[in-house]
Every structure is written in C-alpha cells, then in structure tokens.
Structure 1
C-alpha cells in the first residue's frame, strides 16, 4: 500500500487538494475526524480531557464543549501541548487501526490528512510526503478574506502552526498553490496521471 502524507497549513488549500483525490476515489484517513471520534462520550480520550481540564469543558449532554476548550488552549501554548498529550496516544492507535483495515483489503493508495504530520513524526511511516505550499503573505490574505480575520488574528493562527517554509525540507512533492484555483487543478491533474494512475494500474 502506497502511503501519502498530505500536509499544509491554515488557508494553504490542503482541503481542496484532498477533495480532488477523494473525488478520484482515493481513500483517506482524516486525523481531524479521528480526533473527534476519540473524544465522543464514553471514550478514554474524553475522560483524559475532563481529568486534565475539568468538567466545565463538557456540554450539559456530556459531549465536549469545543468552544470552552478552545478558549483555554488557543492562546496558551502550555495548555495546547497538554491537550495534545491527552489525545496523542488515542489518535495514534485509531489511525494505526484504520491503516490495518485498509491494508487488509489490499488498498493500493492511502492518503493521510494529518495536521501534525511533521511535528508528530507521522512522516516517518509515509512513502511520500506532499506539501501544499503558499507563501506567508498569500496565506495571511486568504485567511483574512475567507474568515474575516484581522491581520493580527490571521497572523496569530498562522504562527500557532509550524511554518510552511520549515516543512519544505520534509516534502517529496511540493504542490505550489500561490496561483489560481485553475492552476492548482492543472497541477493536480498532472500529479494524478504521472504519479498515481501508474500505481493504480499495477496488478495488486
């Protein structure tokens, strides 16, 4: 099974890239979906969060109050690391479990959409790392126009993540998305025909 780790940053266009390959029928594991699964009521992940941050991060119905938790961790790096450490093992185990399921049915290609692909060292288990790249001014402008953020808010969110320029050295393929949506689609068409179709055409 050919494993592709897809990484990027906020407003880089990673979701657009993933959607392109999803529409081509390529299966994927979305770490954000996994992160939601592991904090559903009754899970060990949710218990770990409550043990660490207190029951006031729960809604009345026992589900996680994401806004309350976000308010605690967003501007506090120490608390954010604490949250990551609460969930890291549960997320990792679930992703490895899903990987085994895909391997058991001879899936030819699997894309991993993991925000902390580099930071969490997931890249070490990938066959290739693909980086959706934009420069910082473009990232800031898109974030401001898309989300209505002020310049300061946009930069705060960009700076809370690993810089895209620092991710470049980890990437086997850099998908430059500084141009138009049409230019991005043209690049993805080429990647599809040159890199992925040959894998799909091999006898499994």
Structure 2
C-alpha cells in the first residue's frame, strides 16, 4: 500500500472515491469499509437501477441501440449490449452519456442525505475515466496483477479471455489510476491481506478521532 497524505486531526463528513480495474478486488475493499461503518454508494448497483425495466434510462438505451438490446420481457439484454459497447469506443461513449448522468444524480441524492460526520465511500469503477477524482476528499485505488485479473474473470465469472481483455482495455490503465490516487492498495495476495490493507486505510484516515 502506498503512503498517502497525513490524516487530518478531526473528521467532518468524508467523501471517499473507491476505484480499480475490473476484477482487481475493489468490491472486497468496499465491503470491509462498509463493515467498519461507511455509507457505501455502489455505482454499479445504481447503473443497474437506472436501466431497470420501465425506466426512462432503459428507454433511452433502446432508442440509442435498438430492440436488439431488449429481451422479450422488456428488460435490458446486458450480454447483447456488452458485445456492442466493449468492442467500440464510440458506442461505449454513447452508452456512458446515457448512464453516467443518471447514476451521478442518484448518487448525489444518497450523499446529500448522509449525516454531517458520515464516511461516504462511493464505489466508482470509472472514476478516473470520467474525471471525478477531484470530487472526493480521498481517492483509494485497488489494483491487482493483470494475469490474476484475467484468471478471475475467466474462471470465476465464466468470461472468455478475449472478452476479459476487451473489458480491461476499455478501462483506464494502472498508471492512470495511480496518478489520481491518494492511496493504492495492491491486491496481490489473499483476501485476508486485502482486508488488512482496507482496515489500515480506515484506521489511518477514516476512523473518528479519539475523544480527548
């Protein structure tokens, strides 16, 4: 774990941006921080919500990509959509213009309702790609070796290597994420070590100060 800036002496509400490449272990870090008391805002979950059946977001996706991305039940065919956008940067940006503003609006509502001394951890897979680093008090990046990420995607998620590599290529590089990070957690061991690193971040930067 890299050395981040020195912690502040008191803690008003803290807004943390948590990001990392696909299959790097970001969700595991998010769970630890949530268990320690953070309010977790999961951008992936919000992205699913804004494209649920019957939503204005799904209607916009259908207008943009056609009926080929809609199932017979009127839901989003995520596999069909992924085939379109992960091989074409222009189509991916077209989708992002539909999804990202809606996700940000939902996230802002959740953050606005947090208490004045809350720790809000916003799990944002494309934080760097969408230029949001400056919106957070602390940016935490989780990274893992490339081949380990591909192994997780192919063995644990059932993806082909080609699809795994396409999804990784569609995201920022490790170097780009590191450039935006205050803290880098390297997930190159096991979940116990990863949880320990996440707990260190909480204890050093996010825990409420001890009473005088």
Q: TM-score, normalised by structure 1?
A: 0.87
Q: Name the counterpart of 1:15.
A: 27
Structure 1 residue 149, shift from structure 2 partner: 4.6
- SS of alignment partner, residue 54 of structure 2: coil
Measure the CA separation in 1 of the matches of 2:180 and 2:91: 27
- SS of alignment partner, residue 40 of structure 1: coil
Q: Name the counterpart of 1:33.
A: 45
Q: Name the counterpart of 2:135.
A: 125
Measure the CA separation in 1 of the matches of 2:119 and 2:25: 21
1:109 aligns with 2:119: yes
**Greater relative contact order (CA < 8 Å, ≥ 6 in sequence):** 2
Segments of 4+ moved more than 4 angstroms: 148-151
Q: Name the counterpart of 1:137.
A: 147
1:183 aligns with 2:193: yes
Q: CA RMSD in A?
A: 2.2
Q: Name the counterpart of 1:2.
A: 14
Question: Which residues of structure 2 form unaligned runs of 5+?
Answer: 1-12
1:91 aligns with 2:103: yes
Q: Name the counterpart of 1:73.
A: 85
1:156 aligns with 2:166: yes
Give CA deviations for 1:163-204 in whole Å, capped at 9, x if unaligned. 1222101100011111222222222232222222235x579x
Tell me which of 174, 182, 202 is aligned to 1:172. 182
Contact 1:134 1:164 in 2 (8 A): no
Structure 1 residue 107, shift from structure 2 partner: 4.6
**In the superposition, relative to structure 1, how do residues 9 and 177 fare at CA in structure 2: closer, same or farther (>3 Å)?**
same
Q: TM-score, normalised by structure 2?
A: 0.84
Question: Which residues of structure 1 form unaligned runs of 5+?
Answer: none
